Amino acid sequence: MIKFILTALFLGALAGYLNANWTSIINNVWVSDYLLNAALMMLLFVMAAALAMDKESISKVRRTGLKILIVPLAIALGTILGGVVSALILGFNVVATTAVSAGYGWYTLTGPLVGQIFGPKWGALGFAANFLRELLTIITVSLMVKVDKYAPTASGGATAMDTTLPIIVRYCGSDTLVTAFSSGFVLSLIAPFTIMAIASLA
């Protein structure tokens, strides 16, 4: 299954690159925005319907209740620790590197925001680090699920509410829909605030 996913990702990147730099047959937005959103909406509808039809999954979700809110909190703390540790390993500024991490995978936010605060070099890093988080989540999902049922949700960070959600649910089961979505939602909500709070420490 992962073979097909990686092939689709590669072909998409190739087509996007050729279209942007060579042919420009179609407007980028049609594929990278409209087609993406249409596919995502269709998947969310089907996955939510599958969850609602499955009584066993519903009762699993009910049993978890509000405890699922601990998951995004743990992901946020883990990510911030990851930022501190990588700053120490790379010999980078700890505050700026941690701010880069605090995008939780949301690169369209983190790149511009961190760039605005710390300068273009950090903007580029904020873009790349968070983009790679999304990419690594997609590539490693089949291995991650063996580590822990919620490991792909943790790995996906903020992207677990949209782009990586369908793959997470596909590999981890219908009942992870609620945990993954709410975790991604909470992380997306707090990302701009944590980035700015960390930046204020500089």
| Sites for other proteins among residues 73-112 (CB under 8 A) | 73-75, 77-79, 81-83, 85-86, 89-90, 92, 97, 100-101, 104, 106-109, 111-112
Q: Is residue 200 within the footprint of other proteins (CB under 8 A)?
A: no
Q: Is residue 197 within the footprint of other proteins (CB under 8 A)?
A: no
Among 145, 155, 172, 186, binds other proteins (CB under 8 A): 155
> Per-residue x/- marks for other proteins, 163-192, CB under 8 A?
x--xx--x----------x---x--x---x
Burial classification of residue 195, based on how many CB atoms lie within 10 Å of its CB (0-12 exposed, 13-18 middle, 19 or more buried): buried
Length of the chain in residues, anyone? Answer: 202
The residue (of 95 and 181) whose beta carbon lies closer to other proteins is 181
Among 59, 143, 147, 193, binds other proteins (CB under 8 A): 147
Comparing C-alpha atoms, which of 78, 104, 82, 77 is closest to residue 162? 104
Find the binding residues for other proteins in span 39-78 (CB under 8 A). 39-53, 55, 64, 67-68, 70-71, 73-75, 77-78
Q: Is residue 31 within the footprint of other proteins (CB under 8 A)?
A: yes
- Rounded least distance, CB 171 to other proteins, Å: 11
- Rounded least distance, CB 38 to other proteins, Å: 8
Residues 175 and 149 sit within 8 Å (Cβ to Cβ):
no
Q: Is residue 157 within the footprint of other proteins (CB under 8 A)?
A: yes
Tokens (6 digits) for 49? 């319907």
- Rounded least distance, CB 202 to other proteins, Å: 17
Complete DSSP assignment for 45-108: HHHHHHHHH-HHHHHHHHHHGGGGGHHHHHHHHHHHHHHHHHHHHHT--HHHHHHHHTTTT-HH
CA–CA gap between residue 92 and residue 183 (Å, rounded): 29
Axis crossing angle, helix 70-90 with helix 94-101, rounded to the nearest 10 = 140
- Rounded least distance, CB 195 to other proteins, Å: 10
CA atoms within 13 A on the CB side of 147: 11
